[in-house]
Chains A and B, each alone.
Chain A
């Protein structure tokens, strides 16, 4: 039997992920083929070997150490006996799945002085056929041979000297690689791109701030659209039946000074639905018109087909940084529901069409405006999770406010374009909560408090477990139904990543990046 297993290994190491495999990701729960686990972005594992009855026996199986000291934000991909992840700033490593030993590395030299607001980080790779794709902090998209890490092609997506940077994991669909951009704190003009996976030739670009003559340009005063941000730095999701790509967009630029950009500032703080083949806008929904608090809407849109008030609908679930949970119709963009899940002061209410009534007192001013959430949001780039077993939506929530003071700002290439400065609250301590709510009603099922606002995603599994971590290095498992703590370990490093799961050799593993370590856990 053992002999037979080893005979299988060479075939398994062929590393080939045709589009059909990703499309049918549910058929191979042992693997993790795309950033959020599947195109619906459930960030859920159907594996149940590790479950509520035995999770207390979870032990470290192997660890891999990165060299860099930047936040280790990668969610690995797993297939054909290998794991593929990014080491910050923009390196790629392939690991042997059973041992955690590196098989190859792609190391990218990064020029000095890349202007980037929030660290030279990277959240992962995409895979398609026999290639691995990575976006780099100096704003290139690179295709690597999955077997060796050799560069197949390398294209410039934008000019990093103008503060265009890439931290997002690409999304591979059909025969294309979709890649977003960061840099809205520096007055870049946001876009989403699609590249031919074989050649690296750009297929289409959708500008998230429309130019003159395009619908939506009227929502920007003067030429403010040129510096309007609305960047696309968190991986979206995909509906192959509707042929639509869904992607969240970030804050308008400058972040805090709305007088520089009167109007709604489309398509900032929105979710956009683009035709996958043409990149043309099918619909958009703007969560926060004319954001003056740098809230962003860079979350992962979660797709779910379910009965909504008795009618079967294609839904989108969106746990927004702005402290509201939204349900939209993803075929049309129709607003169905918004429910506040934690403290916020930026909006007085949300109207029947989903448009917020802003609170003018939250706009940065000379005396300092107290705003909840702060600019890191009630949520952020880290994944929520949806479990089809519990029908709950799991979201890590940041409970933190701050004072914002207006400052002068003007656009200069490569420099911060903000319009406010910030002071942390000293009268209360920020904290975090992992919350579970009914995916359709938003009604909270349970909440689990953690020491400080988290930067870790959530993984729900078919073992009815929910895994997550903290900034203090705690990694833990809760009961998915009750929120009861079942297992924990102190990893010793800040956790800035998403947990994920895979199975190899008949054994399920749970993986988390903590500090500079990637840790793989399994039952003894």
Chain B
């Protein structure tokens, strides 16, 4: 018991230290919770320049040549701690969930129609965020909230756009790209539309709006549990 207690305390202490190093040395660029900013998003299970722990430690030690990521001057022991913490940012601890994942999968592909807009392992629609690793980065409560209240937290980069052409044609969708003079958006059918901004009658961007429908009242509480349980299994290719 005492050993276990010591172990738990030591782990908590280590986790805290990794977090504090992260907050003082990394977060100004990578965001408080790894959400990204000047630096890359770290709250995801796979990092482009750090496929394994050794690579991650090397990146933290030396930086990434040709990018803004500098070497950090941290001691090896600190690098281990902060690397473990960075890994934890991209992997939520899933509490046991009540639903049935297999039934959830059927709902996902069936009456909920999720696959029309979302992609898993490069299959499905491209209008909404890809869900291949959503179970690794989002907890059950978050997933459930997203289903019943999609506008509670909109995934970065999924910006709602409403464009009206001069001949009164209305196109809504998600912004794919934009510069000062042009904008490209993808409609719910996955079709990309490109406009010169000065040729549009109206262009509205709403950061609080999502094109995803709410499933409140459309799925029963039990069905929502099942769907959440299925989404939680989506951990990406291991």
A and B physically associate: yes
Name, among A114, A116, A421, the residue most crowded by chain B CB atoms within 10 Å (CB to CB).
A421
Q: At the interface, yes or no: B50 with Cβ under 8 Å from chain A? A: no
Cross-interface CB contact of B66 among A69, A422, A450, A474, cutoff 8 Å: A69
User: B23 within 8 Å of A by Cβ?
Assistant: yes
B5 at interface by CB-CB < 8 Å: no
In the complex, the answer to whether A421 meets B68 with C-beta atoms within 8 Å is no
Q: B133-156, CB under 8 A of A: which get 1 and which 0?
A: 000000000000000000000101
User: Could you tell me the distance in whole angstroms from the C-beta of B23 to the nearest C-beta in chain A?
Assistant: 5
Q: Which of A83-130 contact B (CB under 8 A)?
A: 112-120
Stretch at the interface among A8-16, A194-202, A332-340, A405-413: A405-413
Which partner residue on chain B sits nearest A488 by CB separation?
B181
Nearest residue (CB) in B for A256 is B28
**B177 nearest CB neighbor, chain A only:** A472
Q: A418–B66 Cα gap in the complex (Å)?
A: 24
B74 interface contact, C-beta 8 A: yes
Q: Are B73 and A115 in contact (CB-based, < 8 A)?
A: yes
The reply to whether B37 and A422 contact each other, CB–CB distance below 8 Å, is yes
Is there contact, CB below 8 Å, between B73 and A415? yes
CB-CB < 8 A to A59: which residues of B? none
In contact, B24 and A113 (Cβ under 8 angstroms): no
Q: Which residue of chain B has its CB nearest to the CB of A422?
A: B28
Q: Is the CB of B28 within 8 A of A70?
A: no
A416 touches B32 (CB 8 A): no
Contact of B179 among A71, A112, A116, A474 (CB under 8 A): A474
Rounded to whole Å, the gap between the CB of B50 and the closest CB of chain A is 16
Interface string of A425-436 (1 = CB under 8 A from B): 011110000000
CA distance A451 to B159 in the complex (A): 14
The answer, yes or no, to whether B20 is at the interface (CB within 8 Å) is: yes
The reply to whether the CB of A234 lies closer than 8 angstroms to some CB of chain B is no
Whole-angstrom distance between the alpha carbons of A112 and B65 in the complex?
Answer: 8
Contact B32 A113 (CB under 8 A): no
CB contacts (< 8 Å) of A424 on chain B: these are: 31, 35, 37
Minimal beta-carbon separation of A315 from chain B (angstroms): 33
In the bound complex, residues from chain A placing their C-beta under 8 Å from that of B207 are 426-429
Contacts of A507 on B, CB cut-off 8 Å? none
Q: Are B31 and A114 in contact (CB under 8 A)?
A: no
A473 touching B179 by the CB < 8 A rule? yes
Give the residue of B23, B66, B70, B182 whose beta carbon is less than 8 angstroms from that of A421: B23
From the candidates A163, A414, A422, A470, name the one contacting B27 in the complex (CB within 8 A). Answer: A422
Inter-chain contact B32/A414, CB cutoff 8 Å: no
A114 partner residues in chain B, CB cutoff 8 A: 63, 70-71
Q: In this assembly, does A477 line the interface, its C-beta being within 8 Å of a C-beta of chain B?
A: no
Q: Is the C-beta of B61 less than 8 angstroms from some C-beta in chain A?
A: yes
Query: How many A residues are at the interface, by size bracket?
Result: 35 or more
Residue B62 is within 8 A (CB to CB) of chain A in the complex: yes
Name A430-445 residues within 8 Å CB distance of B: none
Inter-subunit contact B178/A472 (CB<8 Å): yes
Q: Does B205 reach chain A (CB closer than 8 Å)?
A: yes
Does A288 have its Cβ within 8 Å of any Cβ on chain B? no
Q: How far is the CB of B194 from the nearest CB of chain A, in Å? A: 12
Residues of chain A contacted by B67 (CB below 8 angstroms): 69-70, 119
Task: Name the A residues within 8 Å of B20 (CB-CB).
Answer: 407-408
Tell me, in angstroms, the Cα distance from A147 to B140 when the chains sit together.
66
Q: Give chain B nearest CB distance to A115 CB in angstroms.
A: 5
Flag whether B25 is at the interface (Cβ < 8 A). yes
Q: Given A408-B24, A422-B37, verify A112-B62 contact (CB < 8 Å).
A: yes
Residue among B20, B25, B178, B208 with the most chain A CB within 10 A?
Answer: B25
Determine the chain B residues whose CB is within 8 A of the CB of A68 once the complex forms: 66
Q: Do residues A420 and B32 form an inter-chain contact, with CB atoms below 8 A? A: no
Chain B residues in 8 Å Cβ range of A54: none
**Chain B residue at minimal CB-CB distance from A113:** B71
Asked if residues B32 and A423 are in contact (CB atoms below 8 Å), the reply is yes
Chain A contacts for B32, CB-based, 8 A = 405, 421-423
Q: Known: A112-B62, A450-B180, A472-B178. Is A416-B28 also a contact (CB below 8 A)?
A: yes
Closest 4 CB pairs of A and B: A113-B71, A472-B179, A414-B73, A69-B66
List chain B positions with a Cβ less than 8 A from chain A: 20, 23-25, 27-28, 31-32, 35, 37-38, 61-63, 66-68, 70-74, 154, 156, 159, 178-182, 205, 207-208
- Add 14 more A-B contacts to A113-B62, A426-B207 (CB < 8 A): A113-B70, A115-B73, A119-B68, A120-B70, A414-B73, A415-B74, A420-B28, A421-B23, A422-B31, A422-B37, A472-B179, A472-B180, A474-B181, A490-B179
